Amino acid sequence: MDFNFDEITDRRNTHSIKWDANPSADLLPLWIADMDFKSAPAILEALQKRLYHGIFGYTETPPLFYNAVTNWWKKRYNFKVEKEWLVPVPGVIMALSAAIESLSKKGDKIILQSPVYNHFYMSILNSGREILENKLLYDNGNYAIDFEDLAQKASQPDVKLMIISNPHNPVGKVWSRDELQKIGDICLQNNLIVISDEIHADLVFGEYVHIPFASLGEIYSTNSVTLGSPSKSFNLAGLQVGYFFSQNNTLKTAVDSSLKLMGMELLNLFAIEALIAAYEESEQWLDALKVYIYQNYLLLKEFIETHLPTVKVIPLESTYLVWLDCSAITKSSDELAKQLLDEQQLWINSGTMYGSGGEGFIRINIATSAKVLQSGLERLKKGLS
């Protein structure tokens, strides 16, 4: 089946945060992490069927939801997630916040690997915990984990949790089994619980393979909570659907209790239908999407190498978010992002959103039509020239 990812759908005046948060008529937004593609046909059909039923009362999460999740993880990652480990949630960030609240206390420190997803910082600070950065090592376009620094920081008595982005947003890195196991061993040795955000797991390219942290073995699985969702891979962020799982029933119950305390027990009825249709009927669409996104990455890479040779493109192993090293041309990511927005009407993300390790970088979302991306790259060229 052919899918037309070149189709341009006008998202203005749809209450889109990406397109409507800035009222400029000439705005080209390549920032927030949602896609400009319509979701998979099977998902649209499932939502239409549910809509035409016409009654939208309280809805329980059916066995089909749990089956869809467990089947997906087994098929895509050869990892068996037991149904009793699973808890549906209306969004990964809610699950993250509940995990922080239930598995640590105010004043505790939580380790992050900067530069990393900005909402990790927000969830930690909003809960009264402290951030401890284990900065990723950066060398000429490549990222690695500073395990010596991680071991030193994990040994501090007031550190209770480590949150990992697996695969990593924003640097697009797919962590290897060996890297994840080293993280797991350090955390086990120091009694740190691992929270593994695996929301970008479905968007891994080429020879790279996503390794679920919990698949490393029972000692790692029982010391962790995994966050998952089809929202990135199937463009369902606005439906707010996700789940978490843990083999450790004590951890699972603690996080679930925090969610229930906040009234987060029921999923949106459309979210349920969308997840089932995504995982059960839309794999072919996802595989085609990944091909298109990677072609967009190659388009961007060639353009920048040709027209902006002082900018380094960090290799994209996963996600649709490309990380650009602009340190040769600017000392301030914030100033660069503001300049691009003010002068070129190009909205990208400043690297400093993602912690101190992001200074000198910008993040650009390539999950749009090639034509729109090309226009964005032309604006980037003008802005950086």
The string of DSSP letters for 171-198 reads T-----HHHHHHHHHHHHHTTPEEEEE-
Look at residue 150 and give its three-state secondary structure: helix
Are both 172 and 262 inside the same structural domain? Answer: yes
Spatial distance between the Cα atoms of 291 and 286, rounded to a whole number of angstroms: 9
Look at residue 274 and give its three-state secondary structure: helix
Q: Which residues contact 309 (CB under 8 A, 6 or more apart)?
A: none
Average pLDDT, the chain: 97
pLDDT tens string 207-233: 999 999 999 999 999 999 999 999 999
Asked whether residue 329 is domain-assigned, the answer is yes
Name the amino acid, one letter, at 351.
Answer: G
Number of H helices, E strands in the chain: 13, 15
The C-alpha angle with vertex 196 and arms to 164 and 209, in degrees rounded to 5, equals: 90
pLDDT tens string 145-183: 999 999 999 999 999 999 999 999 999 999 999 999 999
Name the amino acid, one letter, at 363.
Answer: R
Q: Residue 2 above 90 pLDDT?
A: no
Average pLDDT over residues 94-101: 97
Q: Which residues pair with 261 in a beta bridge?
A: none
CATH number reported for the structural domain that contains residue 99 in this entry? 3.40.640.10
pTM for the full predicted model: 0.97
Domain boundary at 260, 280, 300, which?
280
Spatial distance between the Cα atoms of 88 and 95, rounded to a whole number of angstroms: 9
DSSP 243: E
Average pLDDT over residues 130-155: 97
pLDDT tens string 242-282: 999 999 999 999 999 999 998 888 899 999 999 999 999 99
Cα-Cα-Cα-Cα dihedral sign, residues 364, 171, 126, 33? positive
Domain boundary at 251, 280, 309, which?
280
pLDDT for the residue numbered 220: 98
Average pLDDT over residues 131-135: 98
Are both 240 and 142 inside the same structural domain? Answer: yes
How many domains are there within the chain?
2
Are both 229 and 334 inside the same structural domain? Answer: no
Q: In terms of residue numbers, what domain contains 154?
A: 56-280
Asked whether residue 264 is domain-assigned, the answer is yes
Alpha-helical regions (H) of the chain: 17-20, 41-53, 63-77, 92-103, 118-126, 147-154, 177-189, 218-221, 249-261, 269-281, 283-307, 333-344, 370-384
Asked whether residue 4 is domain-assigned, the answer is no
Q: Residue 1 above 80 pLDDT?
A: no
Rg of the chain's alpha carbons, rounded to an integer?
Answer: 20
Q: Which residues contact 190 (CB under 8 A, 6 or more apart)?
A: 151, 154, 155, 159
DSSP 34: -
pLDDT tens string 325-359: 999 999 899 999 999 999 999 999 999 999 989 99
Share of the chain above pLDDT 70, in %: 100
pLDDT tens string 6-27: 999 999 999 999 999 998 989 9
Domain boundary at 280, 309, 342, which?
280
Are both 200 and 84 inside the same structural domain? Answer: yes
pLDDT tens string 29-87: 999 999 999 999 999 999 999 999 999 999 999 999 999 999 999 999 999 999 999 99
CB 184 within 8 A of CB 216: yes
CB 179 within 8 A of CB 220: no
